[in-house]
Chain A
């Protein structure tokens, strides 16, 4: 699986947009970009995923660069409950093994 690089930590003011970057320069054409987050004392929670196009759901937006070497997760109006560790993961579309390999992620702290 392709390796991802994320900042260790970021801060964001409540009500503002949180933009979390992820580099995946070795991503191949058949790999999805997934984002999960983990709130303290809980299991990881799926947020969004994408292959080539930008994606949006009720939680967030995912912007993938045209060369697919990096992406940005956007939380449009961050709240205190969005404070969590955010994981960016790349994983093949096909194949027999669908495991997710987690890195250390980015600790996002939303401040009042």
Chain B
């Protein structure tokens, strides 16, 4: 089966500019996650979708970050305006369904953002 696709792989922008990342999860996976990974740290969950509804966005900086998952498939994460501290790898993951005893996440390769 195809994996989780993310683009772009790399992006360099100036602070206060905007950027968008795209994720295509594994076909049929109901749950989609966006994680932020700063260098030297473990991934931190930003937002979790179940189909096209938001389950958890408690750690999403909503003044500058937004995410959507139209039609419960692809998702886009946007940052506007970007700050220096947003430099990180943005990881997308998906899992088959929410109400599962053992819920295994499959991650994409990530999108590396550098803010200058």
Binding site for B on A (CB under 8 A): 32, 36, 41-46, 49, 85, 87, 91, 93-94, 96-105
Q: Is the interface of B mostly helix, strand, loop or mixed?
A: loop
Q: Does chain A have a CB within 8 A of B61?
A: no
Q: Do A100 and B105 touch (CB < 8 A)?
A: yes
Q: Do B42 and A98 touch (CB < 8 A)?
A: no
Chain B residues, CB < 8 A from A49: 102, 104
In the complex the two chains form, what is the Cα distance from A44 to B4 in whole Å? 12
Q: Do A102 and B42 touch (CB < 8 A)?
A: yes
Interface-located stretch among B13-21, B73-81, B92-100:
B92-100
Chain B residues, CB < 8 A from A103: 42
A-B contact count (CB 8 A): 58
Q: Do A99 and B42 touch (CB < 8 A)?
A: no
Q: Do A99 and B106 touch (CB < 8 A)?
A: no
Candidate in A91, A94, A100, A104 with the most chain B CB atoms within 10 angstroms: A100
Q: Is the interface of A mostly helix, strand, loop or mixed?
A: loop
B19 to chain A, nearest CB (A): 19
**Contact partner of A93 among B40, B95, B101, CB < 8 A?**
B101
Chain B residues, CB < 8 A from A44: 43, 91, 93, 105, 107
In the complex the two chains form, what is the Cα distance from A78 to B104 in whole Å? 23
**Shortest Cβ distance from A103 into B: residue:** B42
Contact A43 B100, CB 8 Å, known A87-B42, A100-B45: no
B111 to chain A, nearest CB (A): 10
**Shortest Cβ distance from B98 into A: residue:** A98
Contact A43 B33, CB 8 Å, known A93-B101, A96-B55, A98-B95: no
